[in-house]
Amino acid sequence: MKKEKVYVPKDEKLRVEITWLHYDILAARHKEKWKTTELVIRNYWWPEVIKDVERYVDIYDMCQRMKN
């Protein structure tokens, strides 16, 4: 724990999964970078968490645009 948040170790797969759970699931399908970041940092922390979440959202959005 770090300041009452779950500290996520340096495990890229785990960090991506946490981000995915807050961005991709139907209940959180808000498609907004700031909202995803807010949801993740409510309960989790790791160095550069905000940067990592924003990068995930940017990459996901870019892939979605390429599909369409």
What pLDDT is attached to residue 61? 75
What pLDDT is attached to residue 63? 75
Point out the residues of the chain with pLDDT beneath 50: 27
What pLDDT is attached to residue 23? 85
pTM beyond 0.85, yes or no: no
What pLDDT is attached to residue 68? 64
Name the one residue in this structure whose structure tokens are 């996901």.
60
